[in-house]
Structures are given as C-alpha cells and as structure tokens.
Structure 1
Amino acid sequence: MKFHHRFHGGPEAWMRGGFGFPPFGPGPGAGPWRGRGMGGRGGGRGRRRPNVRAAVLALLVEGPMHGYEMIRELDSRTGGAWRPSPGSIYPTLQLLEDEGLIVGTVDDTGGSRRQYALTDAGRPEAEQAAQQAPWTELAPETVESWHDVRDAGLQAMDALRHVMLNGTGEQRERALAVLDETRRKLYAILADDAAGDR
C-alpha cells in the first residue's frame, strides 16, 4: 500500500493537520488532567481528577477572583499539570452561586467580567477545602514527570514531521512501522500493569 493511500493528502498535509489526528503538545487546558490518560476526564488509572468545586472554593478563601484568574492560578500552582477549562470552571461557579455559597459581581472596570467572592454561607466549606487544596495532589515529582513525557513526545513528533516532509516513500513507510510498534508497546505497558493488579 502506497504512503499517500495510507496518509490522505500526502506529507504536505502534515503542516495542515490533514493526517486525521490532533497535534501533540500543550495547548489551552493541556496536561495530564485533561483528556483520557494521566488522570483526565476518563479518570487516570490510580489517580483521580482534582475536584474543581473544592479548588474554586479554596482559591476564594484567599480573596475574590475572576474565573479566568482561577484557571491561571491553578495552572501556575501545578506547574502547568492542571489547567481546568472554562467549560469546567464557569459551570461550577454558576452552581456555587445558585447554592448561595459565592456571589458574582461585575468588576469596577466597567467590563463584563464577573468577580466572585465567598458568602458567609460558603466560607465553612471553602475553609475546609483550603485545608487540603486539590492542587496539592499534584506533587512536584508528578508535575516534573508529566513535563518530561510531554517534551519527549514533542521531540518525537518533530522528528516525525521531518520524515513526513523530507523523507522518501520508503522512509515514511518505515516511520509508520515505528509508530505502530510504539503504539502497541504503550498499550502493552497498561496491559502489563492491569495483569499485575489481578
């Protein structure tokens, strides 16, 4: 089977994202707590996803914040390992406001952004959440490990990009074989761990 039949659009499609899979690397919300894998939406094996509700309340113990400020704070405090999406932060803020635990007001700049603060009713739960803030679940070694994995993946994808754009058809077929083997070996790691747990 020729290369262009297996990779629709040919090597030039690589730069246009035409290979049918998303680019690898950090983006908004990237990190081991997003997607499936290291604790993402599907729930990483042996690790649970941090509690967005508790994280929001714990942050507000420190003072009023905008939703986007919370996202940046959580990203910063976990070294980029956990950056919750607006789609998880803002519905949580709305729920907490509906429960009367926080109150949102338009800031003094006259913009449309709402700043959130704890109410008296919400402070007890918030202070309890702050005693063991969810972002502390990401130990420094875990964050460092994720960065190592991400960097290795980015380097591998960069090497693959060069092969796709500059290699011969035979070289591209060999690259495909390497990818297939790597994919199988990665799944084998999970399979071995699952077998060891039984």
Structure 2
Amino acid sequence: MKFSIKQTQLYKFLNYCNEYNLEKTILDCGAGGANPPLYIFEKSGYKTYGIEISDSQLEKARNFSNQAGINLNISKGDMRKLSFEDQSLSYIYSYNSIFHMSKNDIQKSINEIKRVLKPGGLCCLNFLSLEDEGVGTGKELGNNEFLQMERGEEVIHSYFNIDEAESFFSDMKIIYKENRIIERLYEGKKIKQGYIDYILEKSK
C-alpha cells in the first residue's frame, strides 16, 4: 500500500514522544486526508485517536484505514471542543491545521488541548508566520487573519510573528521551537511559506 507523509516534522515529534515514559496514547486534531500521519504512530505501537471537521477529508482517511486494514480511530470532531476526558491523553498534535481558524478559536483549541493532555505530556503545534507570502492576501478578518482560497475553497489563515503564539501556552514548557522558511515549486510556480513549529510539555 502506498503511503507518503508530507509532514516530516511529525517524525521528530514521534522521536520526542518515544523518549517519554508515558502511556502510548496520541490524538491528531486535523487527522483527515488520504495519507493520515497517525499511521506512523500506529506502526510505532501507539493507541491512536483523530478528529476531523471536514467530511471529505474524513472519508479519505477512512478509505486509507480500510485499505491498510487498521483502525486509526478517526472521527468527526472539532478541536475547539474535544470529546475527551481531562488529562486523558499523553500526546496531542495539530499540524498544518490549527492556523485554519481565527486567533480567538485557536486560543479555544489550545485550551482544550491543554485540558485533555496528561501532566508531563507533549503536544506539537505549528503556526503560519509573517514570513509567508500569503500575508495580506484575501479578505482581512482581523489581526493578520485572512479569508483566502485554498484548493478551490475559502478558508481562514491566521499568521503570527515569531513569538506571538506563545501567549497561548505561557503555562507550558517549550522543549523545541523552529522558525522555518520554505521556497518550493507548487503547480509550476515558486512559492514562499513560513512556519513556526513547537513541541511543548504540560506542567506536571
């Protein structure tokens, strides 16, 4: 079966998770798509859970699971209101997903992630930076928040300066941070993307 993960930074997160002596439970907030990254955690012995708000992306993930003969436990859900008990999961990530909402909703989502995460657990989040070429395009909704076209659909993109997002998780320990600027070809056109990646530990 063909499997290709584009979010290679999640391999780094997997390595960090493997170093911690916690129950191997993990949640992906934004888990849909034809190549769900939860697969690499399932293959490493983790009990996986995923939520996805898009019906089409959820269907793609379910098709993958059926073809692979596995159950990644991906269901319809909204990261602004997680249906998990307090302090119930060891590891959580939202990669290339959480910035598709307003900054107010991002705050709600991160509060939910912190609620569900076990003490000493890890989460991995990434944000669009002001280095990204998308800043300023589309309809402005708020402070560096824009409604933009992506794959034929209107979606929100929120952009952050280098330290701005840290106000959301000032009560957590930053154990990894990377400011990435990528130039690549997309549909024959050179584009510039900017991301700020975090791996964070919840206080014990």
Q: TM-score range by the shorter chain?
A: under 0.3
Give the structure with the higher percent strand.
2
- TM-score, normalization: structure 2? 0.23
Considering Cα pairs closer than 8 Å and 6+ residues apart, tell me whether 1 or 2 has the greater RCO.
1
Give the structure with the higher percent helix.
1
Larger Rg: 1
